[in-house]
Chain A
């Protein structure tokens, strides 16, 4: 199993550009989520999904959209990048009811 995969590993955007961060898992996990990690702030939940077709907002959803058309994929879209979105983004997945999460390798995003 590849586990949780994310692409790209690094990305530089200009303010106002849009892009999609990709996330896929091959563990048949119902739950998937996106976090951002900033120095001194810890991991903050952006959006999450408890199954295909079901998504909801986390703690810091503004400026981001998600969709979940399949169990395996959970892309994160930045609508109009801002410097405040410079961060490391982690995708995670887990089994329903277990609350243990398995993280992808992360995407380092810089917005200039």
Chain B
């Protein structure tokens, strides 16, 4: 099993829809979790950090399920500008070098 796994998608959703992605991790000792957004041919940009059960920022909600070892990202009222690839990152403990990135989930919001 990969350390961090994401469904590559693409998820094609209409504007205004709610969409959710999951990211599973294999190391139960993982301590902190992150979602990054990456636009085509650009760098990843930090979207949200998840240190406890969850975090909310406007239309975006991240949740952590330690029992099932996954984090989720929920996007409400999708905008065309939300189209991007969403990467999750998991700190497996022991420093920055233990942060593992998933390969990303591609979201395409359709007019």
Contact = CB atoms under 8 A, between A and B. Distances in A.
Nearest to B45: A103
A26 interface: no
Contacts, number: 46
Given A48-B97, A50-B95, A58-B97, A99 B34 contact: yes
A43 B96 contact: no
B97 A43 contact: no
B102 A42 contact: yes
Contact of A105 (B42, B49, B102): B42
B46 interface: yes
Interface residues of B, number: 19
A64 interface: no
Interface in B22-53: 32, 34, 42-46, 49
B5 to A, nearest CB: 10
Contact of B96 (A40, A99, A104): A99
Interface in A80-103: 90, 94, 99-103
B101 A42 contact: yes
Is chain B's interface secondary structure helix, strand, loop, or mixed overall?
strand
Interface in A50-72: 50, 56, 58
A101 B46 contact: yes
Interface residues of A, number: 22
23 contacts: A42-B87, A42-B101, A42-B103, A42-B104, A43-B44, A43-B87, A43-B101, A48-B96, A50-B95, A50-B96, A56-B97, A90-B43, A94-B96, A99-B91, A99-B96, A99-B99, A100-B46, A101-B46, A101-B89, A101-B99, A103-B44, A103-B45, A106-B42
Interface of B: 32, 34, 42-46, 49, 87, 89, 91, 95-97, 99, 101-104
Interface of A: 31, 33, 35, 40-43, 45, 48, 50, 56, 58, 90, 94, 99-106
Given A42-B102, A43-B44, A45-B97, 15 more contacts: A33-B96, A33-B97, A40-B103, A45-B99, A48-B96, A50-B96, A56-B97, A58-B97, A90-B43, A100-B34, A103-B43, A103-B44, A105-B42, A106-B42, A106-B43
